Structures are given as C-alpha cells and as structure tokens.
Amino acid sequence: NYILLGPYEGIICLSKKWIRSNIINVWNISMNEYRILPEPPRPRSGVSGGRPSNTRIFCCNYAVGLDPMSNDFKLVMIQTLNDERGVSSINDCLPNVAVYNFSTNSWRHVEEGLFPVGRYLRGKAMNNVYHNGFCHWVAPTETPCDCVAILSFSMSEEVLQEMRGPRVPPITEGIWFKYWTIGIQDDCLSVLHVEESRRSFGLWMMKGGFWTKHLSFELFIERYQPVGFWRNGEFILESYPLGGDRRLVLYDSNYNQIREFGITGVRFSVRFLKESLVTV
C-alpha cells in the first residue's frame, strides 16, 4: 500500500498509495534507519492571493538537502494541486508546500512567494538534484521550446523560485520525448540536453552565474534520450528505437565509449542511490 519515492540525497520516502493520504515515512538504507514523520500540513484555501476551496492533490514530490545556514537537513514536500477542471488546471493552482526539519521533527507550512508549478511537477518522483543549499527540478517538456526551465527551492530561505536554464535549439517533434536531465558535473549544476538528431547531446554547466556549453558528443548508432548523470563525464542514456525494445547504456564522454547494461524493456525508471549520513 506504499509508493517508493526517491532516493533523495540517499533518503527514500515511502508514501501511502492513496493520493489523499499524508502518511510519509523516510528510510536511510545506508544507515538502516527509519522514521515515521508527523502528518504534514494539508492544502489551505485563500493562500497568497487565493486558492479555490475545492482543490485536490494531483501528485506529490519531495527533495532532501542541507540548510547551510542552520546545518540542519530538511525535506521539502511540494503537492501539485488541481480543481474540478481536472489535469488542465494544475498550471493555475498554487501548490501546497511544506518543509520538514529532521532535527526538530516538525513541519513548517510555506505560504509566501508561491506560484503554480504544474509545468515542472506533473508526476511523482520527478528528477531533482541538490546543490549548494538548493534543490532543483528540470521541467518536463511536452511541446517544443528553446529554453530549459528549472524550478529551485532554497533550503535556507524556504522559498520557491524559477531559474532560466541554458538556451538551446528547439526540437520540433517528438512529444513525450525526454529532452534533458539535470545533475551535478564537476561540482556545478548541469543539464544534459539531446539535440535535434536525437543522436547528439550537449552538456551545459552553470559557472559564475552563467550557463556555458561544456561539451558535445554524438552517437551514430541510434536515437537516445538522457536518463541521468553517473560519474564525471559518464551519462546513462536510454535508446529510443522506432520499433522494438529500448536499451539502457552508459556513455563515457572521456573515452567516447558506450557500455551496454544488457537490459531491455518497453520503458525504464532509473533511480540513483548514494550513501547518506543523514540521521533519520
């Protein structure tokens, strides 16, 4: 009856299967520690200029990171909401945002500075990354666009903000194709972007407050979409054939080599687990 979400910075969240449930458990596999969290705040009406009273939870997303000001680890919960209009209304409804502090075992409702986040968080466990006090999500793309959109949450100030990502050439076809993924490369916030041919990629890195293109590489075998960052210069990709099963591969940009995982399937969901010293 539980859904596994994450891991986020090595912490796995277990949420009740029913979307209206607010029961959340956290589990640090590395330290074999488990905690049942107190119930988080529920959505309120009339927040920050108005939220309809008939909103309901569409999906929940979580992220874990360190508050560098207090040195406390926190978990942020962002519930994307909709109303009686259904999925089409998630771009209009303000989210329900709350922050859990591991040291005080308590939640705080975030009510200031909210804006609709439906363009970013349309499903559970969207790809996110923590870096230097911020948690970042990259917006999934259903229509062609020429700029990566990034949602950020400050663990210190506990506020949401939008960040403009690198400007890239628009792709004119391929609805539901995954164009980019977010990660950390050389201790910099980075975005891996697939280009028009579906065989070439660009790696963009945030340095000195600006996005710069760090490298490009091209694969001549078949079309791929980005899945995630591995070690420095290594990326996990998913083949995207016109017919037949998909494959997971590891591309090493340092040696321009592809390594097969030997895994095939219709669709993949890949999670990255790293050792965490967060006490839960």
Residue-wise DSSP of 47-92:
-TT---TT-EEEEEEEEEEEETTTTEEEEEEEEEEEBTTBGGGTTT
Confidence at residue 172, expressed as pLDDT on a 0 to 100 scale: 57
Confidence at residue 196, expressed as pLDDT on a 0 to 100 scale: 65
Q: Calculate what percentage of the chain has a pLDDT beyond 90.
A: 24
Residue 87 has phi, psi (to 5 degrees) of -60, -30
* DSSP at 162: E
10-49 pLDDT, tens per residue? 888 887 755 555 678 888 888 888 888 998 888 766 554 4
**CB-based contacts of 43, cutoff 8 Å, min separation 6:** 51, 55, 57, 79, 81, 96
Question: What is the mean predicted confidence (pLDDT) over 96-109?
Answer: 93
Residue at token pair 């490369």: 185
pLDDT: which is higher, 147 or 266: 266
Mean pLDDT, the chain, as a whole number?
Answer: 80
Residue 41's nearest CA partner among 76, 90, 82, 5 is 76
- State the Cα–Cα distance between residues 140 and 128, nearest whole angstrom: 11
Confidence at residue 184, expressed as pLDDT on a 0 to 100 scale: 92
**pTM of this structure:** 0.84
141-167 pLDDT, tens per residue? 555 555 677 889 999 999 999 888 888
116-140 pLDDT, tens per residue? 787 677 665 567 889 999 999 887 6
pLDDT: which is higher, 124 or 6: 6
177 φ/ψ sector (left φ>0, alpha ψ -120 to 50, else beta): beta
Please, how many CA atoms are within 13 Å of residue 155, restricted to the half-sphere of its CB?
26
Count of Cβ atoms closer than 10 Å to residue 198 Cβ: 19
Q: Exposed/middle/buried for 222, CB within 10 Å: 0-12, 13-18, 19+? A: middle
Count of Cβ atoms closer than 10 Å to residue 99 Cβ: 19
- Helix, strand, coil % in the chain, rounded to nearest 5: 0, 50, 50
Is residue 95 within 8 Å of residue 67, measured between CB atoms? Answer: no
- For the domain with range 2-265, which CATH number is right: 2.120.10, 1.10.287, 1.10.10, 3.40.1350? 2.120.10
7 φ/ψ sector (left φ>0, alpha ψ -120 to 50, else beta): beta
Is residue 133 within 8 Å of residue 155, measured between CB atoms? Answer: yes
